[in-house]
Amino acid sequence: MNAIEAADVHVTLGGQPIVRGVDLTVPTGQVLALLGANGSGKSTLVRSVLGVVPLASGTVRLLGEPLGRTVPWQRVGYVPQRMAAAGGVPATALEVVVSGLLHGRRLRPPRDRRARADAALDALGVAHLRDRRVQEMSGGQQQRVLIARALVREPELLVLDEPTSGIDVPTQGSFVTALSRLRDAGTTVVVILHEIGPFAPLIDRAVVLRHGRVVHDGPPPPARGEHGDADHDHTHPHADPEPPSEGPDLTLEVTR
């Protein structure tokens, strides 16, 4: 069975075509990296596959079921890029992780919620932050809490949107360890990455998006030029990329 079967997916946001005819099939147990420049439609593609943003056309099946109420949502975990902008009410890491135990068929958390949330926080090394407000945490700590929220339901399909953006190097290493443990347990992983970096040994397959279309599907492509060197010092200022040749290249954030 395939974890994700997406056929001819088109997504339009604010009148602009963001994803333009993507076919993506991810077999169970595969670790797939979704690569591409900022604004290439990576995040929008995974959001549409998970039902967060509506499809303009195309079909999506998750874990064998068409997108909708019949999908076994308790087996799907999603880690968004950032923690949602905080409202005026504090919430602890424990509460955020417990909210990951809710899904389409469960509107109230199970009785053993505390034990399960504790275990998930512990696995990410943030058990000591359990009763702290998430609003007061650093970006890396918030990211770990978000991953714990996705893992607490023990998903078979895990989708991560740039889990290492703005994260320090040691923490990235611990993410790689966590991911390899999941892969060994047979979890299907789709991870959006800006650059493969420390994830390289884990990745089975890479899909590269450019202007909302798939331009590469296969083994991870080598990074461009000198960026691939192991000792490449990644601190020089990046020049602005060339303007796109076909159509406007937009990044749209859907908030609320």
We find the least distance from the C-beta atom of residue 80 to other proteins, in angstroms, to be: 6
Work out the number of other CB atoms within 10 angstroms of the CB of residue 27.
14
Q: How many residues bind other proteins (CB under 8 A)?
A: 46
222's enclosing H/E stretch is none
Give the residue with the Cβ less far from other proteins, 135 or 180: 135
Q: Which residue has the tokens 């993507």?
A: 22
The two tokens of residue 142 are 């918030």
Q: Which residue has the tokens 């990576």?
A: 42
Question: Mask of contacts with other proteins, 84-123, x by CB under 8 A?
Answer: x--xxxxxx-xxx-xxx-xxxx-xxx--------------
In the set 8, 112, 136, 217, which binds other proteins (CB under 8 A)? 136
Give the residue with the Cβ less far from other proteins, 22 or 208: 22
In the set 50, 147, 190, 203, which binds other proteins (CB under 8 A)? 50
Give the residue with the Cβ less far from other proteins, 145 or 207: 145
Question: Mask of contacts with other proteins, 52-71, x by CB under 8 A?
Answer: x----------------x-x
In the set 9, 32, 41, 73, which binds other proteins (CB under 8 A)? 73
Work out the number of other CB atoms within 10 angstroms of the CB of residue 32.
22
By C-alpha distance, which of 3, 37, 27 is closest to 251? Answer: 37
Spell out where the chain has E strands: 2-13, 16-27, 31-35, 57-62, 65-66, 76-79, 157-161, 188-192, 205-210, 213-218
Q: What is the dihedral of CA 69, 72, 74, 80, to 10 degrees?
A: -70
We find the least distance from the C-beta atom of residue 190 to other proteins, in angstroms, to be: 12
**CA–CA gap between residue 72 and residue 155 (Å, rounded):** 10
Q: Footprint of other proteins on this chain (CB under 8 A)?
A: 47, 50-52, 69, 71, 73, 76, 78, 80, 83-84, 87-92, 94-96, 98-100, 102-105, 107-109, 131-133, 136, 138, 140-141, 149, 159, 168-171, 254, 256
